[in-house]
Structure 1
Amino acid sequence: MRPFLFLGVRPEDAPADDEYAAMLRSTGLTESTLRRVRLEAAPLPPVDLTAWSGIVLGGGPFCVSDPEHGKSAVQRRVEADLARLLDAVVPADTPFFGACYGIGTLGRHQGGLVDRTYPEPVGAVTVRLTEAGRADPVLGAAPPAFEAFVGHKEGLTVPPPHAEVLASSDGAPVQAFRVGRNVYATQFHPELDVAGLTTRVEAYRFDGYFPPEEADAVLAAARASAVRVSGVLAAFVRRYAGPGLHPGADAPERDAHPWSEIGSAQG
């Protein structure tokens, strides 16, 4: 009965906590079955991949395509921690799901081109599954075309040569891809609803995603959209939850896990 690991990178408490709450809702897991570690707060300890049913990486304000001289020490350390993690995750084909920031992180790690060619403004887009996406056990849980929230300055212009592209949109040719059988990334936010987007718009109003004076218009358009949580993350959990662990089930006690102190302090 192994829990899932959620890795957050948001430095701001309000959107960080709101994202974790959204991940809990969209996966159907509890705090004991989706353990949180905030990577921006402290270095990532060694990860025993066999201790987890899967790993989920959230979004955040970092861009892997930022000029190196402009990256903060925290951003550089987070990127190095994630690169080391993926060095182990990908060869082992460990279940992994990266949302938004995750597509840049995994895409660059696997040899794709991540740059500023395909940004998308904050708001709803139509995501369309490819033939491979419709057949995929995780992305295929969503309808062939569905609305989802995005908001990113960079995107995957060229996917890794060995990746399977699972979804696209008019503004971004790669909205989701898979490496191996079990390693996923999406450009869109599968966990995000209007309430969560509102929290993020307020937190990042002055971060260059949109002119600050347009925040009310961005939120009005979001409220008028047809976005519903797609079920993709719940499908990821159903696919990889081991025996005795399912959405809503209790995991072993926190003190039975070597990361119990990190989980209780940061989650």
Structure 2
Amino acid sequence: MLVVQNTPTAGPGRVGPWLRECGLRLEVVRAYAGEPLPGRLDRRALVVLGGGFLPYEDERAPWLPAVRRLVGQALRDSSPVLGICLGGQLLAHVAGGTVKGRHGEPEYGSTPIRLRAGARGDALFGELPAVTPAIERHVDAITELPPGAVWLADSERCPHQGFRVGERAWGLQFHPEATAAGIRDWDTGPLAARGLDRDRLYARALADEPVSTAAWRAFTHRFAREVASKP
């Protein structure tokens, strides 16, 4: 499995160990540090992590064209894809959706993720509770899903929290890999400018963590099963 890391602080987090629990081997490419991305996936699964860029901001992140090519290749080959935050936005963009910067209301901290009708029977979302907390940290948003995408989840402030393209490519706006502890490293300045208190965000996420950990670990294991069943 290829994992693309786009910033130093947005690594695989707890999703990495959860995938390894299922026997998967992860090749993490730190694209932000200049590590080269492969020209081809060779039918491997693909995980694309978050980052503070839009999916088409090539001047700020010159490796993004290579990531977009890999996402497109995975879609053509029906290889499993999991896109998280920026990764989900990249999937939407490559598949024909629309992503806009600083759109709608930003989300920070533990946020209730709500299933939509399309989640019924989905390989990853179908077994989640109707509402599951997950950590958010974004100001950009998917404003239009790709043609034919299945809309899986939303939140109060952001309609496109989860979607699927084809049968095996999932995009998430939220962060299943993130933990409450990470919130303690967030810069308080931008939070205060939005009337948010870091300690309160941390306390809320910590209270939600037993539920969120169980749900997103099982979710990640279901993705691992999809990878294992790849032709």
The TM-score by the shorter chain falls in which range?
0.7 to 0.9
Which of 102, 108, 115 is the aligned partner of 1:122?
A: 108
Q: What CA distance in whole angstroms lies between the structure 2 residues aligned with 1:232 and 1:225? A: 16
Q: What CA distance in whole angstroms lies between the structure 2 residues aligned with 1:208 and 1:107? A: 27
Q: What CA distance in whole angstroms lies between the structure 1 residues aligned with 2:123 and 2:146? A: 21
Unpaired stretches in structure 2, ≥5 consecutive residues: none
Q: What CA distance in whole angstroms lies between the structure 2 residues aligned with 1:89 and 1:242? A: 15
Which of 143, 159, 167 is the aligned partner of 1:181?
A: 167
Which of 2, 7, 10 is the aligned partner of 1:5?
A: 2
CA contact (8 A) 2:13 2:177 kept: no
CA contact (8 A) 1:65 1:114 kept: no
**Superposition RMSD in Å:** 2.6
2:51 alignment counterpart: 60
2:38 matched to 1:45? yes
Deviations 1:11-65 (A, max 9, x none): x3xx34xx33412233344897122111112231212323x2x111111222337
Q: Please identify, of 182-191 and 116-125, the stretch whose mean Cα deviation from structure 2 is larger.
A: 116-125
Q: What CA distance in whole angstroms lies between the structure 1 residues aligned with 2:13 and 2:133? A: 21
Q: What CA distance in whole angstroms lies between the structure 1 residues aligned with 2:96 and 2:33? A: 28
Alpha-carbon distance change, 99 to 119 in structure 1, aligned in 2, over 3 angstroms? farther
CA contact (8 A) 1:119 1:155 kept: no
Identity %: 27
CA contact (8 A) 1:118 1:156 kept: no
Alpha-carbon distance change, 39 to 147 in structure 1, aligned in 2, over 3 angstroms? same
Secondary structure of the residue aligned to 2:133 is strand
Q: What CA distance in whole angstroms lies between the structure 2 residues aligned with 1:207 and 1:101? A: 22
For residue 26 of structure 2, what is the amino acid of its counterpart? L
Secondary structure of the residue aligned to 1:160 is coil
Alpha-carbon distance change, 221 to 211 in structure 1, aligned in 2, over 3 angstroms? farther
CA contact (8 A) 2:154 2:160 kept: yes
Q: Larger radius of gyration, structure 1 or 2? A: 1
Q: What CA distance in whole angstroms lies between the structure 2 residues aligned with 1:27 and 1:166? A: 22
Alpha-carbon distance change, 111 to 242 in structure 1, aligned in 2, over 3 angstroms? closer
How many residues are treated as equivalent by the alignment?
A: 223
Q: Report the Cα offset of residue 118 of structure 1.
A: 3.0
For residue 99 of structure 1, what is the amino acid of its counterpart? I
Q: What CA distance in whole angstroms lies between the structure 2 residues aligned with 1:211 and 1:224? A: 24
Unpaired stretches in structure 1, ≥5 consecutive residues: 244-267
1:23 alignment counterpart: 15
TM-score, length basis structure 2 = 0.84
2:79 alignment counterpart: 94
CA contact (8 A) 1:49 1:94 kept: no
Q: What CA distance in whole angstroms lies between the structure 1 residues aligned with 2:203 and 2:108? A: 12
Secondary structure of the residue aligned to 1:124 is strand
Q: What CA distance in whole angstroms lies between the structure 2 residues aligned with 1:137 and 1:105? A: 21
1:223 alignment counterpart: 206
Secondary structure of the residue aligned to 1:141 is coil
2:226 alignment counterpart: 239
TM-score, length basis structure 1 = 0.74
Q: What CA distance in whole angstroms lies between the structure 2 residues aligned with 1:186 and 1:39? A: 20
For residue 78 of structure 2, what is the amino acid of its counterpart? D
Q: Report the Cα offset of residue 87 of structure 1.
A: 2.4
Q: Relative contact order: is structure 1 or structure 2 higher (C-alpha 8 Å, sep ≥ 6)?
A: 1
Runs of 4+ in 1 over 3 A off after TM superposition: 28-32, 206-214, 224-227
2:119 matched to 1:136? no
Q: What CA distance in whole angstroms lies between the structure 1 residues aligned with 2:33 and 2:54? A: 18
Secondary structure of the residue aligned to 2:223 is helix
